[in-house]
Amino acid sequence: MIATPSAAGKARSTRPTRAAALGRWLGHPWSLGVIGILAVLLLWQLIAASGLVNELFLPSPKAVWMAGSDQYSSGILVRDLLASVGRVGAGFALSALVSLPIGIAMGCSRVICQLLEPLMGLIRYMPAPAFIPLLIIYFGLGEEPKILLIFIGTVFFNTLMIMDSVKFVPSELRETALTLGGHGFQIITKVVMPFIAPQVIDAYRINMASAWNLVIVAELVAANEGLGKRISMAQRFLRTDEIFVGLIVIGLIGLAIDLGFRLLMRRACSWAN
């Protein structure tokens, strides 16, 4: 007799806890994002299945999946992926390495800033893809023009963003170091660089998106392999399913790189959060 009400209470209490668990799950910062993606996938499936749109224009999710797994098993996907990632990696690494010292120098020295800022402001507004013909004339059709295109397209943005971040280093932090016996170069390595590290990582994260745009553009123009090349080949044979594969893979890699930079930021600059 005594046990019954409590058992009934237990049975009743499962509902609210399940609702609470659902609430907790929805409260997770990623949940709504996942729901958004699933909703678009569902919509895509519904439209494809309804037959309202010609399959040539809108392949079904299943067809895209099949095309993707075909490309994967034949090794084409991995080869394209490595080619594109390699170009982005080389071009962007070069850009990051060059922009860091120049950006810091521009941020620290008014002379260097006044010398370079107008020049960079000018070149920055020249669309990087407009350099492709010139790069092909100079370097032919190999890897160099593609890597250099990514370099040209990102180095000025990286530099100017790093320069800006240096200007936000509180003067008190530099001056404290000076009154503690620090000198010129130490101020840069011990004060400026640690302070701007989070902004530099963020600048790289943001400009990485341009690097991905540019590698695809470069491959659309001239390449033997790469995700962009695959897309332009697919267009020639009306393989929309393969175009979709290319687009989705590019998106996923972009997302992964973005998350990678965010993780790096959280690990390396925990003080800034």
Partner 1 sequence: MHLSVSAVSKTFGHGAKAKLVLDDINLDLDSGEFVALVGSSGSGKSTVMRLVAGLERPSTGSITVDGRPVKGPGSDRGMVFQKYSLYPWLSAAENVAFGMKLQGRPRRELTERTAYFLEVVGLSDAGRRLPSELSGGMQQRVAIARALAADPKVLLLDEPFGALDLQIRESMQEFLYQLWERTGLTALLITHDIEEALLLAQRVHIMASRPGRIIRTVAAQLDRTSLAHLRVSRPFLELREELAGCLRSLDAGIPA
Instruction: Give residues in contact with partner 1 (CB under 8 A).
Output: 170, 172-173, 175-182, 186, 190-191, 194-195, 197, 269, 271-272
Task: Identify which of residues 173 and 253 has a Cβ nearer to partner 1 in the complex.
Answer: 173
State the DSSP string of 8-52.
Answer: HHHHHHHHHHHHHHHHHHHHSTTHHHHHHHHHHHHHHHHHHHHT-
Minimum CB–partner distance for residue 181 and partner 1 (Å): 3
By the 8 A CB rule, do 231 and 243 touch?
Answer: yes
Q: Distance between CA atoms of 215 and 196, rounded to whole angstroms?
A: 28
Task: Identify which of residues 178 and 248 has a Cβ nearer to partner 1 in the complex.
Answer: 178
Neighbours of 216 (CB within 10 A): 22
Q: Distance between CA atoms of 164 and 70, rounded to whole angstroms?
A: 47
Residue 44 half-sphere exposure toward CB, CA atoms < 13 A: 15
Task: Identify which of residues 169 and 245 has a Cβ nearer to partner 1 in the complex.
Answer: 169
Minimum CB–partner distance for residue 182 and partner 1 (Å): 4
Task: Identify which of residues 172 and 237 has a Cβ nearer to partner 1 in the complex.
Answer: 172
Minimum CB–partner distance for residue 198 and partner 1 (Å): 9
Task: Identify which of residues 52 and 180 has a Cβ nearer to partner 1 in the complex.
Answer: 180
Q: Distance between CA atoms of 169 and 69, rounded to whole angstroms?
A: 50
Minimum CB–partner distance for residue 219 and partner 1 (Å): 40
By the 8 A CB rule, do 268 and 197 touch?
Answer: yes
Task: Identify which of residues 12 and 183 has a Cβ nearer to partner 1 in the complex.
Answer: 183
Minimum CB–partner distance for residue 167 and partner 1 (Å): 15
Cβ neighbours for 57, distance < 8 A, ≥ 6 positions apart: 240
